[in-house]
Amino acid sequence: MLTLIQFPWSPFCITVRHILEQHGILFRLRNIPYHERASIIRATNGRGYTVPCVVDGKRAICDTTDFGQEVARYIDRRHNLDLFPKKFEGLQLILSRYIENDLEMVGFKVNDTYVIPSRPLVERVMLVRHKERKFGKGCLQEWISHRKYLTTQFAELLMPIDNTLASSPFLLSDRPLFVDYDLYGVIGNYLFNGKTKLPNLKHLRRWHRTMKKSN
């Protein structure tokens, strides 16, 4: 049985977790604090330290490249899910860059303003330290003060996706591909705190309800 090592609110962990759940793949879930990576380092024999990390017997897989789809692709191959059909390879890469860069860059900031202050002391301080090293001192307070603007920006970035879904049940096909799960993960991160809502975009909301249902 697979083991998924994760942070519950990570968009990329939500993506992988939802793939496993929707395809009825049995797995164990191991939540770890943000600052504790020892279990991943041991499982990968020092080759990785990021989440999501999937442990399959004696093999452990993390995302290690800029495209960061190694875990999802491993599960896809292992269980013959066909989430990466060749004819959509280029389009999935292009669209996933938009989802994981432009959209996720705004969505995680909104979620962080709620989640980070709620974490236990050591984890909270380590999260703030990580964010400030990457985005500058006081970034979390800045995101809190600009939360309304960031929420509006997130909705605006979803509008092209909503337009795409007006003529298709899913982003690229008549069934969900990896990029649909990718989007579901980024939106799942944005909604994780329980205080944000999905923007009032009709086609996106219909897609989200469909993606959320169990197979």
- Concatenating the DSSP letter of every residue in 176-213 gives --HHHHHHHHHHHHHHTTSS----S-HHHHHHHHHHHS
Residue 28 φ then ψ, to 5°: -95, 150
pLDDT tens-place string over residues 60-92: 999 988 778 999 999 999 999 999 999 999 999
In the chain, CATH 3.40.30.10 sits at 2-78
pLDDT tens-place string over residues 149-206: 999 999 999 999 999 999 999 999 999 999 999 999 999 999 999 999 999 999 999 9
pLDDT tens-place string over residues 104-158: 999 999 999 999 999 999 999 999 999 999 999 999 999 999 999 999 999 999 9
Q: Label residue 171 exposed, middle or buried (CB < 10 Å: 0-12, 13-18, 19+).
A: buried
What is residue 214's predicted lDDT score, i.e. its pLDDT?
Answer: 59
Based on DSSP, count helices (H) and strands (E) in the chain, helices before strands: 10, 4
What is residue 65's predicted lDDT score, i.e. its pLDDT?
Answer: 84
User: Which CATH number is associated with domain 2-78?
Assistant: 3.40.30.10
What is the model's pTM? 0.96
> Taking the mean position of all CA atoms in its chain, how far away is CA 90?
20
SS3 30: strand
What is residue 66's predicted lDDT score, i.e. its pLDDT?
Answer: 78
In the chain, CATH 1.20.1050 sits at 86-212
Q: How far is residue 41's CA from residue 16's CA, in Å, rounded to a whole number?
A: 19
**Reduced 3-state DSSP string for 86-144:** HHHHHHHHHHHHHHHHHHHHHHHHHHHHHHHHHCCHHHHHHHHHHHHHHHCCCHHHHHH
Beta bridge partners of 27: 2
Torsion on CA atoms 169, 197, 16, 210, rounded to nearest 10: -30
The DSSP symbol for 147 reads: H
| Domain 86-212 is found in CATH 1.20.1050 | yes
